[in-house]
Amino acid sequence: MKEYSFNEFLTSKIDVDQKNLSELLSQCPRKEFQKGSFLNFSGDLCDTTFFVEKGLLRQYSIDNKGKEHILQFAPEGWWVTDRESTFFNKPSKYNVDALEDTTVFILKQELLDKLEKVIPNFTAFNNELLNNHIRHLQNRITLLLSATAEERYLTFTKMYPDILSRVPQLMVASYLGITPESLSRVRKELASKSSNSNS
């Protein structure tokens, strides 16, 4: 598991004065959460964006029957927030918890405002991140509405290549919107196809 600092993330994506950036980020909180800890609870106001530097987070809701529905996994280099809660001042519908011991860089809106002032092209970069997030959500909705279980699983393995070894099958099935039994069947069928093609 590779640690991926927020500083490293920004400097790999955009041209920025390292000294100014380091001084600004040094004033911002970085926090460690043990496996099983909650970063945000459903019903609370979520006014924070979490950038995962090390570890793995999960964002999910729970329906009236107590069933979990996973919206997102966030390994190293990924973001987690609830934009409806943050920007429209609404109670969050989602829990966020740590599936592993996790280190996050905590971004408040004040930091984002400062980054826009210090880094000339940060606004365009931030908009690109937002549009990419929207694109992923749209694709996810389309998959849930129309794709087969196998298609959903294959897309999942491309998006999260190392997640299968880090989370239980039950959680993967929840993310895919299928039963654990269906997930097991899909994996067996794919393994059988792979075996036949190699024989």
**Per-residue pLDDT tens digits for 17-68:** 787 788 888 877 899 999 999 999 999 999 899 999 999 999 999 999 999 9
Q: Is 77 left (phi over 0), alpha (psi -120 to 50) or beta?
A: left
73-82, 100-109, 119-128: least confident range: 119-128
Per-chain mean pLDDT for the chain: 91
List, in sequence order, every residue forming a beta bridge with 70; answer none if it has no partner.
Answer: 60
Rounded distance, CA 103 to CA 167, Å? 18
**Does the predicted TM-score (pTM) go above 0.85?**
yes
For residue range 57-82, list pLDDT tens digits in order.
Answer: 999 999 999 999 999 999 999 999 99
User: How much is the pLDDT for 24?
Assistant: 81
Identify the structural domains of the chain with CATH numbers, from first to last: 6-120 (2.60.120.10)
